[in-house]
Structure 1
Amino acid sequence: MAQRIRASRSNNSFNFRLSPVARGVALTLASTAAVPLYAADSNTIEEIVVTATKRAESIQDVPLAITALSGEFTKQVNLNDVKDLVSFTPGVSGNSQDSFIDAISIRGVRTQDFGVGGDPSAAFFKNDLYEGRNGAVVTSLYDMERSEILRGPQGFLFGRNSIGGAFSVYTHKAELDDRVSGYLDLDGGERGHIVGEGAVNIPVSDEFAMRLAGYVSQEDGFVHNFYNGKDLIEHDKKAVRLSTVYQNDNLTVHATAETEHRKQSGSVYRAIQEGDIWDTFVAAIGPVTIQGGPQDVDLDQSGGDADDSTINTFGLHVDYDFGFATRTSHTGYKDHDYYYSEDYDGTPLSLSNYQQDQEGDYFQQELRLTSDTDSALSWYG
């Protein structure tokens, strides 16, 4: 039989699955830390504004089961991509090291189909653009404004494929400040561990500004493959995003263009020499050497595991304020090229290999009219 290796490394230490007790403690801490409740410079409660109902409103007024995570919190706890949000969302479970989302379960609802045409049970959105299939969903979290995770069916507001819930992430938009601003964060460690994130906001005029953000994450593999001498669970991720804003009295236009390339190992498996199945297998084909002890992070695997994707995204968001309501037009286009392979028998023999090669193009156009939140009757259409 084969065992999936789920170890991950941070700088100079290995992190493995937590015990049930440890997970319970971590979840308790996460539920209190997920959303900052108090302003940093006063004792007043800071209002948390979300757009889960297609309008900006306080999270206390949203009649939905929702968890909101700020961009600053996302950076502090080192959440790297959208699947990492699972760790800080009650009622949501499942994660993996690859780009598949079939393992994510919201209130026990999950899809078992990880094929090219499989429909997920949870919808994923980035800046209101639907992320679509495996290979196009898992993108890096950098220069983030906030994340919103809704639990329970969301078909009315988010359409199909949201029977379990919806994940919505929002990046920082260009801002009409009075000066140029930006930041740069760098992190390094052993085994070629390098993470860099930065952004610069440039106001061009009183009505137009642009923002350029970038991200890079690299790390050498730490699972040694005795079969070919290579290391697995390495990754190389690079992304860049350009956003602009134009704003006058009634009109606001946000445009975004982003590209990301992700190259990493697929899921890694190690065969375990135990049980009747293994004895039958050895009796049929002869001895098979499996290197390493039970606690060693190494294996003897023949497959050239890969999890490579290139994702390009373009978005145009237009709001026009009529006074009594706001007309919104959201246009989006995404294309992706994705290849995945894994050798899940965990032996140096080609017994059970899986491959998936896909390309996708998505176009989205949404028009909506939303009432003024100050009116006595709130409506949406």
Structure 2
Amino acid sequence: MQKLIKKQFKIKMLDAIIFASFGISSVHAAPVNDAEKDIERIEVTTQKRVQAIQDVPVTVTAFSGETLEKLGIQDLDVLSEITPGLVIQEQSPNNPGFVIRGITSDSGSAQAAPRVSVYYNGSDISRSRGSYFELFDIERVEVVKGPQATLFGTAASVGALSVTTRKPQQEFEAGLSVGAGNFASKNVQGYMTGGEQQLQGRLAFTYRERDGYIKNIAQRQRDMNGMDRVGIRPSLRFTPTENLTVDLVYNYEKNDDSGTSFKSRKFSPTGGDNSPYTFVEATGSPLAAQIFGKAELGVERTVKDLNLSISWDLNSTWSLNSITAKRDFDSLEVFDADGTQAWFLEFAEDATGEQFSQELRLNYASDKLNSFFGVSYFDEEGAQRVPFSTEESVFLACMGLLPVKVPCINPNGSVNVLTPVLTGGKAQLLPYSGEFKNYGENSAYSAFADVSFALNEQLELTAGLRYVDEDKTSRYASNFANSLLAGVPLLPVASTAGRIFSAEGTDDAWLPRFNALYRLDEQANLYATISKGRRSKVIDVSSANSSSGVIPRVTEVPAESILNYEVGVKGSIEDYQLIYAVSMFYQNYQNFQVTRQDSAGNFFVENAGNAKNMGVEAELKLALTDELEWFTNLAWIDAKIDDDSSNGELAGNRFRLQPEYTAGTGLQYSKELSSNYRINSSLLYTFRSDIFFEESNTPIAGFDIAQPAVQLTGLRFGFENTAQDWAVTLFASNLFDKQYLVDAGNTGGSFGFPSFIAGTPRMFGVEFRKTFM
């Protein structure tokens, strides 16, 4: 009897993990008939209603919070390693890049619109500098592929990443996890929840600290790529009646990470070499505190998020849902763009943003007809200030602009400061600084509707439509004085002397989707999708010189539109001991928008013409034995700008940050040693083919701005006391200490001095977890 109960328990756990890996794990469980051995069926809410994952005609990958904890995933970029079609690049909390099926959303400009929707507890937080958050006390993570304007808003032009945090419960429960590892890493996470029948509360927190893994030999600077992050999340759930649920969630996060390891390949640090994986000598600007507002290299970032969600079951067929959210972020990152000991290209980015959103949605559900419709409002104000600091003679020497050519940095590592010579001894140093700013305001009003109708037991058709109307305002200002040595601004900027130039515009669109689901039998479904996505037009405001002085330069980049065609199959075999999902897609882009940097380091958006994108994604999970589970995911994505002369210099180029092939596979092993003890372990292997870091796909200053194929391995081994609810786990990521790049080119590349960012080396440590109930 005990063996039978154990077997059924493991099958149920496998079922839960599998469906969490292939669908949204929000999670309603319902027993099925005896023919299916009473296995729990996991139901999901991808289309804003409860459904079995196989009945959702959309390509979606999702993970429960329990799965993330078992695999030790605490960072968004690690999540992408086991999600086909998703790449998340994390230079720093201030600069994450989200890539779905080859399309990158990482622009820091307040004037540009995001491409990938990032949702946090049902609200849009897609603005790049405000979209990073810690993965702690998570209910589920959902990654939905393809244009999803009806389901996730206008920013979901190619897909959406949606994260839902755990909510309060009535029963008391608390948990604490502490960990330590190499590079002096420390990790503390915990939660506590409980309450009464009508009012429950939850408090969750996280603290992570780690020394930098790239040594910085410069004085008064921390080692690079260090981490110092704090998050706290109190939440309340109020259920005055069984039909009404009110959730209030506040999230506060503070980051104080050390500087990103931008390293030059042209010049070596004193006593070192130009490898991205060895020590740097990033001195920064000696006037950083005065000019940037922060003396050290690194990121200071604060995010505050308040979310009010109301769900009201009006009757057996109608329900009303409201989501109100406000999010503020303030992020200051100081970085050494040249990656050397020279006072040369020293920059900062000061990004701020305020967002408010409101959505009202009515749902209708019956045997054959399921639908939802509603309205939403989104308002955003953002600003990006980019100050610059250098020493005039160093800048001119490094850029090769002096009459006499001298090296920027001598072979012994010393920096040539020629100001005393050039000024006849009148000055020892000539500090130079300037800044440019961009501002963006966006108000979007939407109305949407989505209807699914079951024609018979086999065929269900879905049609959805969103109308969006946007009002946009873009502003720009710059302030660069003439250099004393050069007589002109050192950066090629038409200085507005602080004056703000402005332009306004409107944009609207109709965004449909059509889906068909055909049930082959009780265990397999086919689906097909046609959907349209859009990235709204960009009103790019900058400045230009003219005979009458500095004037505004306004460029309207047309809206990017995407038509997505997709077919797939989802199914299970042998009572859900095998789960599979395979999809094929083809996407056609018009007015493909790319983000680039000009020779002053200023970001701008331009139209690269037409582009094509096609691919195949597959996921599989199999119970090899009662104790051993195997999962794998594969993706082939061919994403390129059309090789047509009308597309200019980027014609035929691959999309940046997108590998052609990705694969992730792993084993999860769990075995009971006795009635009280169990071992849990996992092995994870990921592969990514080569990528380009810039749209140009070409070397800069003779250095490849690309990363060859990367293979990474992670291992976890845990010992658990099931009676006392505690566990000890040993872990290692990048087990074989592979060297790889996170990014290359960057701001220094705009000046002909590309910098390179090393990926995370081998990390290892131990964690202790205890649950109190």
TM-score for the superposition, normalised by structure 1: 0.80
Q: Distance in 2 between matches of 1:288 and 1:172?
A: 47
The DSSP-based 3-state class of the residue aligned with 2:249 is strand
The DSSP-based 3-state class of the residue aligned with 1:75 is helix
Partner of 2:176: 184
Cα gap change, 1:325/1:50 in structure 2, threshold over 3 Å: closer, same or farther? same
The alignment of Structure 1 onto Structure 2 pairs a total of residues equal to: 332
Q: Distance in 2 between matches of 1:315 and 1:375?
A: 33
The DSSP-based 3-state class of the residue aligned with 1:366 is strand
Which letter maps to 1:376? K
Cα gap change, 1:220/1:308 in structure 2, threshold over 3 Å: closer, same or farther? same
Query: Given the alignment, which residue of 272, 275, 284 partners 1:291?
Result: 272
Which letter maps to 2:236? T
Listed as ranges, the matches of 1:1-381 within 5 Å are: 35=21, 46-99=40-93, 103-111=97-105, 113-177=107-171, 180-203=172-195, 205-228=196-219, 230-247=222-239, 248-273=241-266, 289=270, 291-292=272-273, 294=275, 297-303=278-284, 304-322=296-314, 323-372=316-365, 374-381=366-373
Which letter maps to 2:226? E
Greater radius of gyration (CA)? 2
- How far residue 235 of structure 1 moved from its aligned partner, in angstroms, is 1.1
- How far residue 171 of structure 1 moved from its aligned partner, in angstroms, is 0.8
Q: Distance in 2 between matches of 1:46 and 1:118?
A: 45
* Cα displacement string for residues 330-362 of structure 1 (whole angstroms, at most 9, x for unaligned residues): 111111111123213211113333321122111
Conserved in 2, the CA contact under 8 Å of 1:97 and 1:266? no
The DSSP-based 3-state class of the residue aligned with 1:379 is strand
- How far residue 292 of structure 1 moved from its aligned partner, in angstroms, is 4.4
- How far residue 115 of structure 1 moved from its aligned partner, in angstroms, is 2.3
Cα gap change, 1:193/1:324 in structure 2, threshold over 3 Å: closer, same or farther? same
- How far residue 149 of structure 1 moved from its aligned partner, in angstroms, is 0.3
- How far residue 76 of structure 1 moved from its aligned partner, in angstroms, is 2.3
Cα gap change, 1:44/1:270 in structure 2, threshold over 3 Å: closer, same or farther? farther
The DSSP-based 3-state class of the residue aligned with 2:68 is helix
Q: Distance in 1 between matches of 2:276 and 2:129?
A: 32
Q: Distance in 2 between matches of 1:134 and 1:125?
A: 12
Q: Distance in 2 between matches of 1:327 and 1:110?
A: 34
Conserved in 1, the CA contact under 8 Å of 2:233 and 2:252? yes
Cα gap change, 1:266/1:133 in structure 2, threshold over 3 Å: closer, same or farther? farther
Deviates more, 1:119-128 or 1:229-238: 229-238
- How far residue 145 of structure 1 moved from its aligned partner, in angstroms, is 0.8
Cα gap change, 1:84/1:33 in structure 2, threshold over 3 Å: closer, same or farther? farther
Q: Distance in 2 between matches of 1:233 and 1:118?
A: 28
* Cα displacement string for residues 159-179 of structure 1 (whole angstroms, at most 9, x for unaligned residues): 2221121000111101133xx
- How far residue 295 of structure 1 moved from its aligned partner, in angstroms, is 7.9
Q: Distance in 2 between matches of 1:235 and 1:51?
A: 35
* Cα displacement string for residues 250-304 of structure 1 (whole angstroms, at most 9, x for unaligned residues): 111111111111111343122224xxxx7xxxxxxxx974624748531121224
Cα gap change, 1:362/1:293 in structure 2, threshold over 3 Å: closer, same or farther? closer
- How far residue 48 of structure 1 moved from its aligned partner, in angstroms, is 3.5
- Structure 2 residue ranges without an equivalent (≥5): 1-16, 24-28, 30-35, 285-295, 374-773
- How far residue 32 of structure 1 moved from its aligned partner, in angstroms, is 7.7
Conserved in 1, the CA contact under 8 Å of 2:226 and 2:259? no
Cα gap change, 1:166/1:104 in structure 2, threshold over 3 Å: closer, same or farther? same
Q: Distance in 2 between matches of 1:290 and 1:119?
A: 44
Conserved in 2, the CA contact under 8 Å of 1:110 and 1:164? no
Deviates more, 1:118-127 or 1:351-360: 351-360
Percent of aligned positions with the same letter in both sequences?
27
Q: Which has the higher contact order (CA 8 A, sep 6+)?
A: 1
Cα gap change, 1:44/1:356 in structure 2, threshold over 3 Å: closer, same or farther? farther
Give the structure with the larger strand fraction: 2
Cα gap change, 1:48/1:364 in structure 2, threshold over 3 Å: closer, same or farther? same
- Structure 1 residue ranges without an equivalent (≥5): 1-30, 279-286
